[in-house]
A = this chain, B = another copy of it.
Amino acid sequence: MDIARALLTNPLDDLLGYQLRRASAALMGELARELDRIGLKATEASVLILIDANPGITQSEIGRALNIKRANMAPLAAMLDLRGFISRQKADGRSQGLIVTTVGADHCRRAQEAMRRHDIRIRDALPKGLAAKLQSALPALWQMSSEQEPAA
């Protein structure tokens, strides 16, 4: 029965899109396990890092930068606020600027370290020079498909 696994014909293996998906899913799972030790989900960590780098940023701006819908940003920001990682201050009457608290900054730092370690592992698993080429080529892929919201 184990033999059957090796004899399998998988047409998907020839597809670059499929390989990208598998690689991305596996790497995300691995990073998620690392971030879990800090008590953060991948999305929460990303948002936290973006706020830390851009104090006063609004939820809508974060959503546009990370491709997260406004509707999904609301509970995300509420949770980070509830846990004391960020604070929200009225900036506009309808919008609010987000900043990272002292407690949040500590989590942010550890999340960034985990991500950096993770990224080094990725680069080390690739043939020399490929990481740099990928870094400059990948944005074309997710901008090729109109990933951005059409209007919503």
Task: Please give the residue numbers on chain A whose beta carbons come within 8 Å of chain B beta carbons, in ascending order.
Answer: 4-5, 8-12, 14-31, 46, 49-50, 53-54, 57, 61, 64-67, 112, 115-116, 118-119, 121-123, 125-127, 130-131, 133-135, 137-145, 147
Q: Count copies of this chain in the complex.
A: 2
Q: Are A16 and B123 in contact (CB under 8 A)?
A: yes
CB neighbours (8 Å) of A26 from chain B are: 141-145, 147
Task: Tell which of B8, B28, B53 touches A54, judged by Cβ atoms closer than 8 Å.
Answer: B8
In the A-B complex, list the 7 residue pairs whose CB atoms are closest, starting with the nearest. Answer: A24-B24, A26-B142, A30-B145, A26-B147, A23-B141, A19-B138, A9-B53
Q: Are B142 and A50 in contact (CB under 8 A)?
A: no
